[in-house]
Chain A
Amino acid sequence: MISQFFVLSQRGDNIVFRDYRGEVQKGSAEIFFRKVKFWKEDGEGDAPPIFNVDGVNYFHVKVAGLLFAATTRVNVSPSLVLELLQRIARVVKDYLGVLNEDSLRKNFVLVYELLDEVIDFGYVQTTSTEVLKSSIFNEPIMVDAGRLPPLGPAAIFMQGSKRMPGTAVTKSVVANEPGGRKREEIFVDIIEKISVTFSSSGYILTSEIDGTIQMKSYLTGNPEIRLALNDDLSIGRSGRSIYDYNSSSGSGPVVLDDCNFHESVHLDSFDIDRTLTLIPPDGEFPVMNYRMTQEFKPPFRINALIEEAGPLKAEVIIKVFAEFASSVIANTILVQMPLPTYTTRVSFELEPGAVGNTTDYKEANKRLEWGLKKIVGGSEHTLRAKLTFSQQSHANITKEAGPVSMTFTIPMYNASRLQVKYLQIVKKLKTDNPYRWVRYVTQANSYVARL
């Protein structure tokens, strides 16, 4: 049970503010914002998503640069409130197509309408985009998505890849298309976030894949969908190391540690033929979340080295090897490395002929940054940096720098080898065969190489 709900902009302005129970004072949004702001300034890092000030519990999640917040005086389930806030953000996005400060400000009356139906007197009534349709009467005012920074993992499909209809992911579930007729289509995205830690000798210390099969349906008449995954998929690592010997190089069965499913998913035949059956609700939702610690081949190998090169000087060499097929192209790559705090100057040296590379030394946080627009599978890239120090280093220089971290996005690639074998729309539709999009993308979560 919550008492108030509000959305604040990055500057702390109220965009919507709804008081459901009148138990918490009006100035709560301001108290909340000050607390969040000063948490960081006091050097304590980010404010935790839940904190208590004078008996009022404040919850918040950050979505698209906005703060979705709730207050209550009651000792509620923290997961429930945070899930709810996240869900409200998703429902709003379903209706507005694009979620950002601009779209929210333009459509705040619609958002109030949603809030009225989602929560009554602090109790959740419904968060189903579909059920809400019958009680929402405002029409969304669309904002131009093109010039907006992308948000959410699915947003990467907006760039590149011409086969995708770029606007699809930013389409409102209620907005009428200019042509009048709705385009029948369904999107299934397999989004994987990978975390790998390499030791200084290049050996993999830990690795994990956190994946989501996300669906967004624009099909009329809510047909049943069947989604078939790898036949040899198994779940649960009861035998632990048993699987390890045959899994190192991309063959053998896919073994997930664990997974969970959306409410609408029926698992009746899952145990037999690894098929998920569901009637997709409107809007965007995760069909299945999964986690895998089975060994897999990381897409990039990183070699990093820092060596003293005379008094007050050192050299850094970072090599990145793309270990995936040459038909696959990774984009928006950023390699970062903290340097010794007494570093004053860095000069970079790229390979001859390197294009689309940017190099920078961020003085403020003593960090080297190397950006690459794209990396083609099978290629190798090297950066050399010469460091100048303001003082002699006494201790082991490798303890003063690193680790190297890397972020990237690789479309149409997934490290787990989990696949959607087919996507079947069971009920015959009157319209032509609807568009079905199955898309894969892999992103770095925490991709780190130690020195």
Chain B
Amino acid sequence: MAPPAQTVRSSSPSQPSGKGEVSDLKLQLRQLAGSRAPGVDDSKRELFKKVISYMTIGIDVSSLFGEMVMCSATSDIVLKKMCYLYVGNYAKVNPDLALLTINFLQRDCKDDDPMIRGLALRSLCSLRVANLVEYLVGPLESGLKDSNSYVRMVAVIGVLKLYHISASTCIDADFPATLKHLMLNDSDTQVVANCLSALQEIWSSGAATSEEASRERETLLSKPVVYYFLNRIKEFSEWAQCLLLELVAKYVPADSSEIFDIMNLLEDRLQHANGAVVLATIKVFLQLTLSMTDVHQQVYERIKAPLLTLVSSGSPEQSYAVLSHLHLLVMRAPYIFSSDYKHFYCQYNEPSYVKKLKLEMLTAVANESNTYEIVTELCEYAANVDIPIARESIRAVGKIALQQYDVNAIVDRLLQFLEMEKDYVTAEALVLVKDLLRKYPQWSHDCIAVVGNISSKNVQEPKAKAALIWMLGEYSQDMQDAPYILESLIENWEDEHSAEVRLHLLTAVMKCFFKRPPETQKALGAALAAGLADLHQDVHDRALFYYRLLQYDVTVGERVVNPPKQAVSVFADTQSSEIKDRIFDEFNSLSVVYQKPSYMFTDKEHRGPFEFSDELGNLSIGTESVDTTVPVHKVEANDKDLLLSTTEKEDTRGPINDGAYSAPSYDGSLVSLAAPQTQPEVATSNPSVKEHSQSSFAIDDLLGLGLPAAPAPAPSPPSLKLNSKAVLDPSTFQQKWRQLPISLSQEYSVSPQGVSALTTPQVLLRHMQTHSIHCIASGGQSPNFKFFFFAQKAEESSTFLVECIINTSSAKAQIKVKADDQSASQAFSSLFQSALSKFGTA
């Protein structure tokens, strides 16, 4: 703790700044130190209060340390508490003086009153002075054995404090083992809960270096421990329940009946008034049922009502936290919430952070049956006095239009926006109309008629202006005035501050020129001249490029600048499904509120309990114990038919051991998604760039605009190359398998040679490995075999997962493919099929 000297604020009379007051206090404290006069405690209280209040507002009162300690010889508990608070705050910067306090704290640790014992022990452990740790061990040992639960409760947390000051002292005294014993045997639930918190922290931080710690950490997730907690959960405080539920969410039950037992036991936790308990319970339900599609969906139905109740009760802050989670679920499964759309209507007095979430939810749940009502509601918000929300609402209407439901009516509404004559409404609507035209070129006629009526003078925002200019260029053949409007815009080139607008102007005037050369020639010349003289590098370069292009060959120029376009079918999603899954895995954490996985906003050591489960698989495999197969079993623990023979272990262990130390698969995605926030920006602000992605690639590249994932008209997939040394650890496999949707499911025939060669699963494994397709688990007996394979792309860490069931009597193979990159799954499937067809022929 740093000395709080930096924030000395003066001026206000209630906040004295001078040293005068502090030295005054010092004097008065000295006078009282030895006094036994009646009423001295009252005067001391007043002085202590002053000291604490100075400390609170940030005045450095550490110089009083000696006097405070001298005055602390008292039986007055209020005084004692104030003194402890003071000492805890300043001991770290006064390690020498802190030694003075050890004596009286140690004495108090043996007091008859358990309250005093507890307080003293808590303060003793809060000193945070490394060279005093030797004084802690004794009092902690007796504290953990104290007959009073308050003292034990304090002692348990004391052990954790000691661990943070000196981990080795804590381990040498064998405190973790003591805590473990207490956790499983103490009668007081808060003592138990504190043990769990402390052990989780101690073992998680130790797991990186100590195998024992990582093993111990794993035992917390073992069935006996989890059941011990589950059976007593209602005896715990609501806060401790959250802690236990977080643990249960990481537990992997053996079979579905166990899953249902746990869910039935926890069912009534969904009715708890504390939102934290409800969300922690929901996390358990969601995690347990991930592999059971039907039940998982029932869980969504079940948790809807409790979540909505939590959103509408409690303070706005609490409902925001719950709403963020509801938002996540709505985004994952909009169809389940489509009939609840009215709950996502905004109330006029809600803060804008709530309204924003609600608008996104309304957009997501829109479908054929409710679009009309939702859009009607959104249009009301467009006239809202809260301008940012009005803008968001218009964007929401546009997004719904792009989702294709009832486009007809929506286009009319958008056009009505343009007629509302509010600057920001017009601006937003223009951007939307532009996007809409890119997807539905067939609407151009109606839209252009309206857009043509808008005076470019009324459009000031760069984005809107750029959109308008893009439409002028794109549809110049349909808009009578297009060349003249462009011309007048070019005349005001100097006044146009946005480089983006000037870039668009260049491109639009080029397009216009190809369509209506005589009318545009003059304007084009002026634009190119202005562009070449432009101080902005990108504008200059683009003008120069166009100039030389035209010089070289006008028809080539047309092909480059204004090629025939295909309608955009799907606009790039702002967040990859992998990121979304990662956030879902971190349900009931800040990741959901920030809409980012934890690695994007926290340091590794602070990621909280969630890292825990991810590392688990790796760590257990890293150890060469008999347990090695356990995580392999977990791959599909629910598939009871899946058995591993001992020989197969040899096969699977190789790649798995490597896998344990390879970079986690998410690291690869980090690079490509480094700036997920900026992606929508790019997608909307550079329409022409995207539009020309095929032909004007060079321009974009030159301009350094960064090409968004090109929605090119489905290029023939590049030949797929697989990484022959691909690695994947079973827990990652398991996790991915749960998260990814099936992207392909097919049935092949197996050649007669193949059938006859398939005597045991292992032969196929070796064969597939030569084709860079690796097996992670296999089992079964003739005629039914079941395999789980995986493969990775050669250049990137994009993974394919395959479940393959081969029936030798019918000579059929059924495969299900899940892939990080779903577009490549067809290519992968053919590769897989060809590899399989070669089986037995060699």
Could you list which residues of chain A lie within 8 angstroms of chain B, going by C-beta atoms? 1, 13-17, 19, 22, 25-27, 30, 43-46, 48-50, 52, 55, 57, 60-63, 73-80, 82-86, 108-109, 112-113, 116, 120-121, 123-128, 134-135, 137-138, 195, 197, 205-206, 208, 210, 212, 236, 257-263, 286, 288-291, 293, 338, 365-366, 394-395, 399-400, 402-403, 405, 445-446, 448, 450
Give the residues in chain B near A138, CB-CB below 8 Å: 78
Q: Tell whether A261 pairs with B157 under 8 Å between CB atoms, given A27-B6, A30-B7.
A: no
Q: Which of B78, B353, B603, B610 contacts A137 (CB 8 A)?
A: B78
Assess the A79–B279 pair: CB atoms within 8 A.
yes
CA distance A205 to B274 in the complex (A): 31
Q: Tell whether A82 pairs with B2 under 8 Å between CB atoms, given A113-B81, A446-B347.
A: no
Q: 8 pairs across A/B with beta carbons < 8 Å? A: A17-B56, A26-B7, A52-B590, A75-B606, A77-B276, A134-B115, A212-B313, A263-B274
Assess the A55–B353 pair: CB atoms within 8 A.
no
Give the residues in chain B near A195, CB-CB below 8 Å: 347
Give the residues in chain B near A27, CB-CB below 8 Å: 6-7
Q: Tell whether A84 pairs with B342 under 8 Å between CB atoms, given A125-B190, A261-B273.
A: no
Q: Which of A25, A108, A134, A289 contacts B52 (CB 8 A)?
A: A108
Give the residues in chain A near B309, CB-CB below 8 Å: 257-260, 289-291
Assess the B57–A126 pair: CB atoms within 8 A.
no
Closest 3 A/B residue pairs (Cβ): A446-B347, A45-B352, A49-B317
Give the residues in chain A near B347, CB-CB below 8 Å: 195, 445-446, 448
Give the residues in chain B near A135, CB-CB below 8 Å: 115, 150
- Is B272 close to A, CB under 8 A? yes
Give the residues in chain B near A86, CB-CB below 8 Å: 314-315, 317-318
Q: Tell whether A79 pairs with B349 under 8 Å between CB atoms, given A108-B52, A123-B197.
A: no
0/1 per residue, B349-374, Cβ < 8 Å to A?
Answer: 11111000000000000000000000
Assess the B593–A55 pair: CB atoms within 8 A.
no
Assess the A291–B7 pair: CB atoms within 8 A.
no
Give the residues in chain A near B272, CB-CB below 8 Å: 260-261, 263
0/1 per residue, B55-94, Cβ < 8 Å to A?
Answer: 0111000000000000000000110011001000100100
- Is B348 close to A, CB under 8 A? yes
Assess the A75–B313 pair: CB atoms within 8 A.
no
Q: Tell whether A55 pairs with B602 under 8 Å between CB atoms, given A108-B56, A195-B347.
A: yes
Assess the A257–B308 pair: CB atoms within 8 A.
yes
Assess the A446–B348 pair: CB atoms within 8 A.
yes
Interface of B is mostly: helix
Assess the B305–A257 pair: CB atoms within 8 A.
yes
Most chain B CB within a 10 A radius of its CB, from A57, A61, A73, A291: A291
Closest chain B residue, CB of each to CB of A450: B380
Interface of A is mostly: mixed
Give the residues in chain B near A123, CB-CB below 8 Å: 157, 194, 197
Give the residues in chain A near B602, CB-CB below 8 Å: 55, 73-75
Assess the A75–B279 pair: CB atoms within 8 A.
no
Give the residues in chain A near B325, CB-CB below 8 Å: 79
Closest chain B residue, CB of each to CB of A110: B78
CA distance A77 to B150 in the complex (A): 26
Assess the A82–B321 pair: CB atoms within 8 A.
yes
Give the residues in chain B near A395, CB-CB below 8 Å: 419-421
Q: Which of A49, A77, A288 contacts B588 (CB 8 A)?
A: A77
Give the residues in chain B near A338, CB-CB below 8 Å: 385
Assess the A76–B388 pair: CB atoms within 8 A.
no
Give the residues in chain B near A259, CB-CB below 8 Å: 271, 309
0/1 per residue, B462-479, Cβ < 8 Å to A?
Answer: 000000000000000000
Q: Tell whether A26 pairs with B1 under 8 Å between CB atoms, given A78-B593, A82-B318, A395-B420.
A: yes
Give the residues in chain A near B278, CB-CB below 8 Å: 260
Assess the B238–A263 pair: CB atoms within 8 A.
yes
Given A45-B351, A46-B351, A402-B383, 13 further pairs, Cβ under 8 A: A44-B388, A45-B386, A61-B315, A75-B602, A75-B607, A78-B593, A79-B276, A80-B276, A85-B317, A125-B194, A126-B237, A206-B342, A366-B385
- Is B128 close to A, CB under 8 A? yes
Give the residues in chain B near A80, CB-CB below 8 Å: 239, 242, 276, 280
Give the residues in chain A near B273, CB-CB below 8 Å: 260-263, 286, 288-289
- Is B594 close to A, CB under 8 A? yes
Give the residues in chain A near B593, CB-CB below 8 Å: 48, 50, 78
Interface residues of B in 701-740 (CB under 8 A from A): none
Closest chain B residue, CB of each to CB of A45: B352
Give the residues in chain B near A112, CB-CB below 8 Å: 52, 81-82, 85
Assess the A126–B190 pair: CB atoms within 8 A.
yes
Closest chain A residue, CB of each to CB of B279: A79
Give the residues in chain A near B785, CB-CB below 8 Å: none
CA distance A86 to B122 in the complex (A): 25
Q: Least Cβ distance of A15 to chain B in Å? A: 7
Assess the A46–B421 pair: CB atoms within 8 A.
no
0/1 per residue, B260-287, Cβ < 8 Å to A?
Answer: 0000000000011111101110000000
Assess the B383–A399 pair: CB atoms within 8 A.
yes
Assess the A43–B239 pair: CB atoms within 8 A.
no
Closest chain B residue, CB of each to CB of A19: B1
Q: Which of A14, A76, A121 contacts B58 (CB 8 A)?
A: A14
Assess the A50–B321 pair: CB atoms within 8 A.
yes
Assess the A258–B306 pair: CB atoms within 8 A.
yes
Q: Least Cβ distance of A19 to chain B in Å? A: 6
Give the residues in chain A near B242, CB-CB below 8 Å: 77, 80
Q: Which of A83, A288, A291, A399 contacts B312 (CB 8 A)?
A: A291
Give the residues in chain A near B150, CB-CB below 8 Å: 135
Give the residues in chain B near A445, CB-CB below 8 Å: 347, 349
0/1 per residue, B555-593, Cβ < 8 Å to A?
Answer: 000000000000000000000000000000010111111
- Is B154 close to A, CB under 8 A? yes
CA distance A445 to B319 in the complex (A): 14
- Is B49 close to A, CB under 8 A? yes
Closest chain A residue, CB of each to CB of B386: A45
- Is B598 close to A, CB under 8 A? yes
Most chain B CB within a 10 A radius of its CB, from A45, A78, A135, A257: A78
Give the residues in chain A near B280, CB-CB below 8 Å: 77, 80
Give the residues in chain B near A236, CB-CB below 8 Å: 305
Give the residues in chain A near B592, CB-CB below 8 Å: 78
Q: Tell whether A78 pairs with B82 under 8 Å between CB atoms, given A22-B128, A52-B594, A260-B271.
A: no
Q: Least Cβ distance of B89 to chain A in Å? A: 8
Assess the A261–B271 pair: CB atoms within 8 A.
yes
Assess the B342–A121 pair: CB atoms within 8 A.
no
Most chain B CB within a 10 A radius of its CB, from A30, A79, A261: A79
Assess the A14–B57 pair: CB atoms within 8 A.
yes
CA distance A172 to B317 in the complex (A): 26
Give the residues in chain B near A75, CB-CB below 8 Å: 586, 589-591, 598, 601-602, 606-608, 610
Give the residues in chain B near A14, CB-CB below 8 Å: 56-58
Closest chain A residue, CB of each to CB of B246: A77
Q: Tell whether A76 pairs with B589 under 8 Å between CB atoms, given A55-B602, A108-B53, A109-B78.
A: yes
CA distance A259 to B310 in the complex (A): 9
Assess the B238–A79 pair: CB atoms within 8 A.
no
Closest chain B residue, CB of each to CB of A50: B593
- Is B508 close to A, CB under 8 A? no
Assess the A52–B128 pair: CB atoms within 8 A.
no
